[in-house]
Copies of this chain bind each other. A is one copy, B any other.
Amino acid sequence: MPETTRERRLTPRATEIAAQARALLEESGPEALTMRALADRLGIKAPSLYKHFPDKQAVEAELVAQMLTESAEACEEAERTAPGSLPALAGAYRGWALAHPHLYRLATERPLPRHALPEGLEDRAAAPLVRACGGDADRARAAWAFTHGMVVLEIHGRFPDGADLSAAWRTGTESLLP
């Protein structure tokens, strides 16, 4: 079977715009990502952006695709390094998310723009966890929920200041082993 993951190619200019959108998002958060601010950062006027993207949603969808791709890559790398290890996988996922908290939130705290994503990307992002759970989909979902929950609670500063989060991660990932 041929590779089913397809990328809708962006023009070079659109790629540059997306890169600046990402930089803006990562530096200042989702509320700061406006078409005006994005244009300012590129040294152009906001209306010009609409020659490259149909609307703001399309820009955001591109960033969501980047998030899924990169966190999948991080997990695949962990898989190669420590095959079958749920703690290693969770650590890679956590590491990527905490390094890009605003992008992680953008991709995660709203419905997925599934129609605008490259085919197969969502499955690719889920696959390493399913493999680490020996194909047990229920366990993989529980492990995903734990991992995502830890990450977002960390990002939002929900744990008490002194909390030993490494210990919580260890307890969670070890408990959820198949």
Contact = CB atoms under 8 A, between A and B. Distances in A.
B153 A165 contact: no
Interface residues of A, number: 36
Interface string A53-70: 000000000000000000
Q: Which DSSP category, helix, strand, loop or mixed, fits chain A's interface?
A: helix
Given A108-B156, A110-B156, A142 B137 contact: no
Interface of A: 105, 108-112, 136-139, 141-142, 144-150, 152-153, 156-159, 163-165, 167-172, 175-176
Query: Lowest 8 A-B CB distances belong to which pairs?
Result: A149-B149, A145-B149, A142-B172, A141-B168, A138-B167, A145-B150, A146-B146, A148-B149
